[in-house]
A and B are shown apart, each in its own frame.
Chain A
Amino acid sequence: MSKEYRTMNNDVALPYRWSLGPVWTRFFDGLKEETIYGTKCLKCNRVLVPARPFCPACYAEMEEWVEIGGQGTVQSWTVVNNSYYGQVKEPPYVMALIRLDGTDCALCHFIGGIDVSSIEKVRERIQVGTRVKVKWNAEKKASIYDIAYFEPAG
């Protein structure tokens, strides 16, 4: 035990099967084919990515599918440098909000293909407004990780 007073471990572990539903199933199938799909709301005309079953603003079904190119602009970014239990990746790594061309929202993903050993080195390559492009994973599993990361486009 790590504490100076008496404690007990209480590990909670459970298995899950989360339903993707038709829209997200198709979105992830698209990633497998190196295509990023968004959906367009016919009411407010916004294109959202990842694809959505319904428009979060208009509450209407989003039935029009749009193929999104793999390029976009960094809206915000952070170098994650702390560790926590269950973390998805060994720090340091870069997370970013990326506004893909032709969409009206930001996609959250990693930025890679750059030297992340120091914050200064990251700042040299990544800023708000930096153009980035998608880097696909060679091995694909129809998951968000089919996109390995985004990298500077220039």
Chain B
Amino acid sequence: MGRAVAIIGTGQTKHGNRREVSYPELVREAVMAAFEDAGITPRDIDGVVSGTMPSMMEGISLTHLSFADALCQVGKPILKVETCGSTGQSLGHCGYYWVASGMADVVLVVGHEKMLEGDSQATMTTVTDPFFHKTFAAGAPGVFTMQAMEWMYRFKVDEEKARDAAALISVSNHDNALDNPYAHIRMRITVDDVKNAKIITYPVRLLDVCPNSDGACAVIFAARGKAEKLCRKPAWIKGLGFRGDEFFYGESDKSVWASATSAAKEAYDMAGIKDPLTELDVAEIYNPFTYQEMIFYECFGLCPRGEAPDYVLKGTFTKDGVLPCDPSGGTLCTNPIGATGLIRLAEAALQVTGKAGDRQVEGAKLALSHAMGGTDQFNGVTIVGSEL
């Protein structure tokens, strides 16, 4: 095993429509916040991992080149890592392995997106192949809807019950976002608002789906030995996992979703977690879409297959439930996509170090963070804890 690795600082921009600043300025805002949080200077950094979802979103290729100045890391290695929507988790994983390998002591990890500069759904279709799928591409909501339909059919989930549970998830995420000063969408909504919102892709409605946001997130990783010196309360990386299905959507069973299930299992095994529902104190699940959040609960072993709506309706995953999920308001309220997965990790780290402000889950010691990418193809999980 490699060296133990901890998160010693995080920084986020205010997420939302940030048309008043240029992309490099947005990145710098998150990086400056992370330096301030960690109490270190840019000189203390040995290397950088940086990434967006795709370059096509903003029409600028290999952004580590144009952001070298904004990251304040000229003369250092800047590795660009990307895996679609799961980019944020993949960035964190690279930061972890870099430090664990012993080749660097302190690594700055930055995820960023200015989704409102491009056309997000048109960009998503450029993930599909030109031979077979591009013609029928339905954007992200279309993919998520197909998966939800398959899941309901497979487990004979009552459509009305799923609808009620999904609406409750939306309401509780929106409520949570009101406690998060960085969140994009901050408004109080009701179950009826969700159920009466405009249909996007049947049965999915507007309030079931995340927004497009501009935003960036920076997380600083440090090796054991250095981490405790630099930071009074580091968040230790306890486990991580990443898996990908086949490229062609139709080749794997998305209702049981092997990549999500195995990625979580890999992380649990490394962290020594056997019963995640009781052992975890908080989870930051990547939830661009309400129905999909329920599939994640099942894949992550938080409830039996097909029973997520029942658990949701009992309040298992609300802020005062057995396992609070997305006290930050989640992806559903904030989605600068290349940063989103890293925001999940940053929020998990804030929770286990007691720094989450109004969104703090009391006494949280062990937290799961997650992101998903591709046309339902990739899942990445990172677990952080307050104890080494």
Which residues on A are within 8 Å of B, measured CB to CB?
8, 10, 12, 14-24, 53-54, 56-57, 59
Contacts and interface: CB of A to CB of B under 8 A. Distances in A.
Interface in B227-242: none
A15 B42 contact: no
Nearest to B24: A53
B20 A21 contact: yes
Interface in B290-316: none
Interface in B310-343: none
B362 interface: no
Contact of B22 (A8, A12, A19, A56): A19
Interface string B162-177: 0000000000000000
A53 B118 contact: no
A53 B42 contact: no
A109 to B, nearest CB: 19
A19 B117 contact: yes
Interface of B: 18-25, 28, 42, 56, 58-59, 69-70, 72, 74, 114, 116-119, 122-123, 126, 130-131, 134
Interface of chain B: mostly helix, strand, loop or mixed: loop
27 contacts: A8-B131, A10-B134, A12-B56, A12-B126, A14-B56, A14-B59, A14-B118, A14-B123, A15-B119, A15-B122, A16-B58, A16-B59, A16-B117, A17-B116, A18-B22, A18-B23, A18-B59, A18-B117, A19-B21, A21-B20, A21-B22, A22-B21, A54-B25, A54-B28, A56-B69, A56-B74, A59-B42
Contacts of B18: 19
Contacts of A54: 25, 28, 69-70
A50 B42 CA distance: 24
Nearest to A59: B72
A8 B58 contact: no
Contacts of A14: 56, 59, 118-119, 122-123, 126
A21 B117 CA distance: 12
A10 B130 contact: yes
B28 A24 contact: no
Nearest to A13: B122
B74 A57 contact: yes
Contacts of A18: 22-23, 58-59, 117
Contacts of A17: 19, 116-118
A59 B117 CA distance: 25
Contacts, number: 59
A86 B134 CA distance: 24
B114 A19 contact: yes
Nearest to B116: A17
A134 B37 CA distance: 45
A21 B18 CA distance: 9
A53 B28 CA distance: 10
A104 B58 CA distance: 30
Nearest to B18: A19
Contacts of A8: 130-131
A21 B118 CA distance: 16
B19 to A, nearest CB: 5
A16 B42 contact: no
Given A14-B119, A15-B122, 7 more contacts: A16-B118, A17-B118, A18-B58, A19-B21, A19-B22, A21-B21, A53-B28
A30 B234 CA distance: 47
Contacts of A21: 20-22, 25
Nearest to A20: B22
Contacts of B123: 14
B111 to A, nearest CB: 18
Contacts of A24: 22
Contacts of A59: 42, 72
Q: Which of B20, B22, B23, B74 has the most CB of A within 10 A?
A: B22
Contacts of B126: 12, 14
B257 to A, nearest CB: 29
A14 B59 CA distance: 8
B114 A15 contact: no
Which 9 pairs from chain A and chain B are nearest by CB? A21-B22, A56-B69, A10-B130, A59-B72, A21-B21, A16-B59, A19-B19, A21-B25, A19-B22
B135 to A, nearest CB: 12
Contacts of B22: 18-21, 23-24, 53
Contacts of A22: 20-21
B245 to A, nearest CB: 23
A53 B24 CA distance: 9
